[in-house]
Amino acid sequence: MFLNTLKAVFGTKNDREVKKYFKRVAQINALEGKYQNLSDDELKAEFAKFKEQILSGEKNENDILNDVFAIVRETGKRTLNMRHFDVQLIGGMVLHDGKIAEMKTGEGKTLVATLPVVLNAMSGKGVHVVTVNDYLAKRDAEQMSAIYNFLGFSVGVILSSQNSDIEHKQAYDCDITYGTNNEFGFDYLRDNMKFSKVEKVQREHNFVIVDEVDSILIDEARTPLIISGPTNRTLDGYIKANEVAKQMQKGEAVLPPVKPEGDFVVDEKNRNILITEAGIAKAEKLFGVENLYSLDNAILAHQLDQALKAHNLFEKDVHYVLRNNEVIIVDEFTGRLSEGRRFSEGLHQALEAKENVKIQEESQTLADITFQNYFRMYNKLAGMTGTAQTEATEFSQIYSLDVISIPTNIPIKRQDKDDLIYKSQNEKFKAVIEEIKKANAKGQPVLVGTASIERSEVFHNMLVKEKIPHHVLNAKNHEQEALIIQDAGKKGAVTIATNMAGRGVDIKIDDEIRALGGLYIIGTERHESRRIDNQLRGRAGRQGDPGISRFYLSLEDNLLRIFGGDRIKSIMDRLGIEEGESIESRIVTRAVENAQKKVESLHFESRKHLLEYDDVANEQRKTIYRYRNELLDENYDIRAKISQNIAEYSANVMNDYILDESGSNVNFENLKAKILYECSTQISEKDFENLSVIEMQDKLSQILENSYNEKMSRLEIKELRNIERILYLQVLDNAWREHLYQMDILKTGIGLRGYNQKDPLVEYKKESYNLFLELVNRIKFDSIKLLFSVQFNQEEVQNLENKANEENEKLLQSSVEMGASEDNLGEAEFKKVPRNAPCPCGSGKKFKECHGKSGPKQGILA
């Protein structure tokens, strides 16, 4: 009560922020007369003066914001016949300040972006504008380029249909670049696999505006971008696990200490499978193993877990579709097909086994990054969307982004009616059809929102029976998306749409439809996220238009059944609701919203948890990529690094063969064999007589330095440095790929540490740090071995970089089609040694820790 009184007197924090911006709007408006009296050339000249002040450092962007916004507004009037409203100026300032502008549908976010884009492009460092699909990227770039070009800026677009690095580089070199989140992220990963700086396409990450920021930074946050390559792992386990999963009986969840019956229990809230003791025993019998959870059977246990998830948590035409005998993911937030994307950790293979289609190879990660960590690399990040306040806490905690709700230019007239709740789905379906018939009879357009393809087809079939003409928009016919959505506001239109609902495409209505009450939005069930429901509502009532929205629910809907059904059911029972009747109550609507808050909280914790793990890998990624960029720099002293590595290698090798602390007892025979094998260099025992341990290490380092210099003496210095750089990069890339594979394995099994009363995250940090130390040493020592052992002719020297790039491209393009080749160690006795057996060289180490890990696994020298 006291808090409400304070808000009434002083306003909310958001109100106070908006009030500050309005003061600056008045200053911008005062400049309008000045600039509208200038000719085109005079206006351009004024803008050029401000740009020069930025480039010279005389002024910063905030100093000239008022004038630049006034000039952009005037340019919009002249080139597009569009004048920025006052609230759009506020949106532009919010974006420039590195915040999220929440602006309702139809408020002109595309035009708003031009204000901060122009202001921040003046530094010449580039501005990126990110959209959710190619259509919007191309459309927005084409529409707004009139403003940008008038002011002397170049505009580029990154599209998934562009296959050429040249096209991408040209787009990134422009002052302003539009594109999708996927393309920006993948270009970053690909850039960090290139062998020279000039081949990179992206510039620095200066300023980015993310359109539909909630979709990209929240909904997509759990989906990392992955560039993958093939593995040689067998797929038989998935077929076996699928057969076992089909024979296991599902039990009902019960509260402890009561033990559940059946072989497994489905945890729908956390989307997980819990196998009972009886289930473990049954699985062990069916698999023919003694201990399903032993280290030897860890992969089998994981495959069974994924098979049970595939059968019990993933529905065809809800979570995925079958097309041309392939399992294709349906994005749970947009309803679109995610072509080319696969579920990770073997889940996709489990679904393929379930559907009895060809199981595609598991892939190995070559490079990966989450959107969270990609966009946090920018010097300044901003976003815009119609729905962000429900996730304001997450934006603040994860991205340090404040959300500012911008007032609409014209007050919203849409009526958001309370939910109608029925006991069963069939009752709800009938009620929805009756409501559609009523609206359709008077010509009022209706947009029906469904949560899945399956539901959209249920309503489609019911409308066909009623002979009501309609359009269906779901993942199976998404190609017509923009066209169907544009026509959804016409008289008599009935449109059934999944969550995709054409974000970014306005549904416009005419005066006749306004007189009928505007567009009628019918939601057929609540989404787990209030934000998605708000997006559906927001399709109606744009720019002061009338409209209606209402959700029809049933106690059998997943959200109510899992998270809030008992409480709502008891309310309905107390009120004596009969078959076919509904309840309309603010109490019930609030109970539904509380259920949604529970789910949102669970998802937030899940995303935060994933980010905590990814932050560990991200620090390692940044370290490796930073070092890789240093290697690409022609001024980097690669020779000094090689000398340092030779010294460390020498010390490490000597320590392996010195049998006592004094250094008087050395296994010289095995030491000589190792140096000859790994460095193609002969050493003599006499050279090490009467030397201390440190002196022997220095002596070996000196011998190897001389040997290396002699080997490379026939090459010109510039040529040699280029060879060293490329070979070093190859070793680094191969070691990094192997490290990512080890990290994947670590992450898959780390959760089991919790059963041993250990914090899995702490254990993950500890283990991943040790793996990273191994990676660093492997890069150092494998690069030395490769540089000593490589043999090439003059032609190979000249084509080395081209060959390296060709191999890289081949690896990327054929990532799923081809199998990885085995290590070729070059010596017959080493080929036959088991990986855990002692190494034949006599070092006392396991083969996998000694000669079994030598040399690159891929690349032109494999």
E strands, 122-247, in order: 127-131, 155-158, 176-180, 207-211, 225-230
* 223 annotated among ligand-binding-site residues: no
What sign results for the dihedral spanned by CA atoms 796, 797, 799, 801? positive
> Under DSSP, is residue 176 helix (H, G, I), strand (E, B) or coil?
strand
Q: How many helices (H) and strands (E) does the chain have?
A: 32, 22
The tokens for 332 are 């749970």
> Under DSSP, is residue 759 helix (H, G, I), strand (E, B) or coil?
coil
The tokens for 393 are 């806490």
* 109 annotated among ligand-binding-site residues: yes
Of the candidates 425, 536, 527, 577, the one whose C-alpha atom is nearest the C-alpha of residue 585 is 577
Ramachandran bin of 400, using left for φ above 0, alpha for ψ from -120 to 50, beta for the remaining angles: left
Alpha-carbon distances of 190 from 106, 217, 805, rounded to whole Å: 36, 21, 11
Of the candidates 762, 770, 776, the one whose C-alpha atom is nearest the C-alpha of residue 743 is 770
339-345's contacts with Cβ under 8 Å and 24+ in sequence apart are 341/223, 344/224, 344/226, 345/302, 345/306, 345/748
What residues pair up with 100 in beta bridges, in sequence order?
A: 383, 403
- Interhelix angle 668-679/638-657, rounded to 10 degrees, is 150
Distance CA 711, CA 727 (A): 15
What sign results for the dihedral spanned by CA atoms 79, 83, 88, 94? positive
The tokens for 672 are 């000589």
* 249 annotated among ligand-binding-site residues: no
* 106 annotated among ligand-binding-site residues: yes
Alpha-carbon distances of 469 from 21, 439, 441, 541, rounded to whole Å: 48, 13, 12, 24
Distance CA 624, CA 628 (A): 6
Distance CA 10, CA 597 (A): 28
* 506 annotated among ligand-binding-site residues: yes
The torsion angle over the Cα atoms of residues 323, 328, 333 and 335, rounded to 10 degrees, is: -10
> Under DSSP, is residue 783 helix (H, G, I), strand (E, B) or coil?
helix
Ramachandran bin of 15, using left for φ above 0, alpha for ψ from -120 to 50, beta for the remaining angles: alpha
What residues pair up with 367 in beta bridges, in sequence order?
A: 227
Do 835 and 848 form a contact (C-beta atoms < 8 A)?
A: yes
Alpha-carbon distances of 653 from 50, 503, 615, 827, rounded to whole Å: 62, 61, 34, 20
What sign results for the dihedral spanned by CA atoms 497, 503, 504, 507? positive
Tell how strand 380-385 and strand 363-369 pair up: unpaired
* 88 annotated among ligand-binding-site residues: yes
Of the candidates 111, 17, 128, 130, the one whose C-alpha atom is nearest the C-alpha of residue 69 is 111
Amino acid identity, residue 811?
L
The tokens for 419 are 């939910």
Alpha-carbon distances of 717 from 51, 629, 722, rounded to whole Å: 44, 21, 9
* 98 annotated among ligand-binding-site residues: no
Which residue ranges make up the annotated binding site? 88, 106-110, 506
Which residue ranges make up the annotated binding site for ATP? 88, 106-110, 506
